[in-house]
């Protein structure tokens, strides 16, 4: 069920991020959702799966955190 919710592009993007961090030698810092690793977070007022373009509207972004 989780795979269906994420979709194939989401899985490919996650795999790309993980591989990129390994190749750059920063896999102990970033690249996976793991406690203690750096992460970026966006809290939005819309469902991005219903229409990702809506994230381009500043009114739809409540909080953005970059670690």
pTM, two decimals, is 0.45
Amino acid 4: pLDDT: 47
Bridge-partner residues for 44, per DSSP?
Answer: 61
Amino acid 19: pLDDT: 77
Amino acid 3: pLDDT: 44
Please give the residue that has the higher pLDDT: either 54 or 67.
54
Q: How many C-beta atoms lie closer than 10 Å to residue 62's C-beta? A: 10
Query: How do residues 12-61 score in pLDDT, each as one tens digit?
Result: 766 666 777 788 888 888 777 788 888 778 889 999 888 888 888 999 99
Contact (CB, 8 A) for 37 and 31:
yes
Six token digits for residue 40: 């970026």
Please give the residue that has the higher pLDDT: either 2 or 65.
65
Tokens 């670690």 sit at which residue? 67
């Amino acid at each position: 069920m989780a795979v269906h919710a994420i979709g194939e592009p989401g899985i490919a993007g996650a795999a790309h991020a993980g591989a990129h961090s390994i190749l750059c030698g920063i896999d102990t810092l970033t690249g996976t959702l793991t406690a203690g690793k750096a992460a970026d977070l966006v809290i939005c007022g819309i469902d991005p799966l219903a229409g990702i373009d809506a994230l381009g509207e500043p009114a739809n972004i409540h909080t953005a955190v970059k670690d």
